């Protein structure tokens, strides 16, 4: 009897000890650490054709009354910059990431980049999310026509509240791609009637470009497409590859990685990418209707392995921020980027056109340059 009680006591003690050990291990185990990795992109080397001289936006349009920009940062405020870019697979996404990295590494300003639907979405973020009292400044990559319409209040989303933006520099030219495959048999933009077509993500500059061109052609996507999709760069490329659409619009630098990947995938299955050329009368009509935002451009066949060059429209992208961002903050950003262009150009091939020769292409246009950027350009002698 005594031995049975002793055994029972030992078993109970063992259970208590084991339970205690389990509780100790559970409580003391540290939470898992999340590691953030910086994504970099190296685009393949290709041939670039630089468009001719850019006509700046018409200065006759009445612009909003400017507000005096703060000269220096507010005491005690730590400024952070958020850069709106575009979708994964587009140049904006990678360009913005690298610019954010340069700002982080070579200034005392915190910077992050975020994936967005691109131009219009980015301009809304600048207008609605910038909070200078908390030190939050939104900057963005944007197409010039989107910026022009948003700044002047001509875009529906900015009709009663225009985008309060200022230019820091001109980035590189976007080329309007109208992409299909040789097996679809589509050879002209007029052939898109009755087809399944994507015009770009909602709120993107691509969508603005595509709808502007289609209006001139006389095609109403809602009525004339068999299926109207509104997909981003990577999603559009995947849909064309998988056969769920017949063609798509994309406005991006040369080359765009998602288009390169699409061309490779099509070649492997015995098909070939085909880039639709715009008729000259459509190019001329677009430039006349939207003065100063586009120039004639050519996508060389060698960029994506197409059978022929494609005549199209080219748009010089802008890097913009809130017009009321402190001068010294914008000066530091501009100075850091231009003093480390080698990093940007090595990481993003289209950024070869980001340089002091092109930075002031829109200097006499409707949208003003930020005084912080102008301060740097005067310092390096390209602006008197």
Parallel, antiparallel or unpaired: strands 273-275 and 165-181: antiparallel
Res 77: pLDDT: 83
Q: What pLDDT is recorded for position 133?
A: 95
Q: What pLDDT, on the 0 to 100 scale, is given for residue 29?
A: 35
d(CA 91, CA 177) in angstroms, rounded, equals 13
- Residue 267 predicted with pLDDT over 50: yes
Instruction: State residue 75's pLDDT score.
Output: 65
**Residue-level pLDDT at 112:** 98
**18-27, 73-82, 106-115, 344-353, range with the lowest pLDDT:** 18-27
Stretch 42-58: mean pLDDT: 29
Peptide bond into 255 cis (omega under 30): yes
pLDDT at 38 over 50: no
- For residue 250, the model assigns a pLDDT of 97
Region 216-241: what's the mean pLDDT? 97
Q: Is the pLDDT of residue 304 over 70?
A: yes
Q: Is the pLDDT of residue 13 over 60?
A: no
Q: Are 126 and 163 in contact (CB under 8 A)?
A: yes
Kindly report, residue by residue over 167-183, the tens digit of the pLDDT: 999 999 999 999 999 99
Mean pLDDT of the chain: 85
- What number of CA atoms fall less than 13 Å from residue 30's CA on the CB side? 3
Contacts of 131 (CB under 8 A, 6+ apart): none
Handedness of CA 240, 243, 244, 246 (dihedral sign): positive
Q: Report pLDDT for 33.
A: 31
Q: DSSP 3-state assignment of 47?
A: coil
The length of the chain, given as a count of residues: 384
156: pLDDT strictly greater than 80: yes
Average pLDDT rounded to a whole number, residues 19-34: 37
- pLDDT at residue 26 in the model: 35
Stretch 270-285: mean pLDDT? 97
CA nearest to 64, candidates 206, 204, 210, 163: 163
What's the pLDDT tens digit per position in 186-195?
999 999 999 9
pLDDT above 60 (res 46): no
Q: What is the pLDDT of residue 290?
A: 82
Cα separation of 93 and 71, whole Å?
Answer: 30
**pLDDT band at residue 214 under the 50/70/90 scheme:** very high
Which pLDDT value is given to residue 340? 98
Q: Enumerate domains of the chain plus CATH numbers.
A: 80-172+319-380 (3.40.190.10), 175-314 (3.40.190.10)
Count Cβ atoms within 10 A of the Cβ of residue 153 and give its class: 0-12 exposed, 13-18 middle, 19 or more buried.
middle
- At residue 74 the predicted structure's pLDDT band, cuts being 50, 70 and 90, is low
* Sign of the CA dihedral running 196, 198, 202, 203: negative
């Amino acid at each position: 009897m005594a031995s049975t009680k002793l055994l029972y006591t030992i078993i109970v003690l063992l259970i208590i000890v084991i339970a205690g050990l389990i509780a100790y291990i559970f409580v003391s185990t540290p939470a898992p650490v999340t590691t953030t990795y910086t994504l970099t992109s190296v685009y393949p080397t290709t041939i670039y054709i630089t468009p001719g001289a850019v006509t700046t936006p018409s200065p006759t349009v009445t612009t909003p009354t400017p507000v005096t920009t703060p000269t220096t940062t507010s005491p005690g405020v730590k400024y952070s910059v958020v850069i709106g870019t575009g979708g994964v697979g587009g140049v904006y996404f990678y360009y913005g990431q690298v610019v954010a990295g340069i700002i982080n590494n070579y200034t005392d300003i915190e910077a992050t980049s975020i994936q967005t639907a691109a131009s219009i979405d980015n301009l809304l973020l600048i207008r609605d999310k910038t909070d200078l009292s908390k030190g939050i400044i939104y900057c963005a990559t944007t197409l010039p026509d989107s910026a022009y319409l948003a700044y002047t209040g001509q875009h529906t989303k900015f009709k009663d509240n225009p985008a309060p933006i200022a230019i820091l520099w001109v980035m590189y030219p976007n080329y309007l791609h109208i992409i299909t495959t040789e097996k679809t048999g589509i050879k002209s933009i007029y052939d898109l009637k009755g087809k399944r077509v994507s015009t770009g993500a909602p709120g993107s500059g691509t969508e603005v470009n595509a709808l502007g061109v289609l209006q001139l052609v006389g095609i109403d996507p809602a009525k004339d497409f068999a299926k109207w999709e509104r997909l981003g760069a990577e999603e559009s490329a995947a849909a064309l590859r998988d056969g769920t659409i017949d063609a798509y619009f994309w406005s991006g630098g040369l080359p765009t990685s998602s288009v390169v990947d699409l061309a490779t995938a099509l070649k492997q299955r015995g098909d070939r990418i085909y880039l639709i050329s715009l008729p000259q009368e459509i190019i001329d009509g677009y430039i006349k209707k939207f003065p100063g935002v586009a120039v004639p451009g050519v996508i060389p066949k060698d960029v994506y392995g197409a059978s022929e060059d494609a005549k199209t429209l080219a748009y010089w992208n802008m890097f913009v921020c809130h017009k009321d961002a402190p001068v010294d903050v914008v000066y530091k950003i501009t100075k850091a980027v231009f003093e480390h262009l080698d990093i940007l150009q090595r990481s993003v091939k289209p950024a070869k056109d980001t340089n002091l020769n092109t930075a002031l292409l829109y200097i006499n246009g409707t949208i003003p340059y930020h005084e912080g950027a102008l301060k740097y350009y005067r310092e390096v002698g390209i602006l008197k």
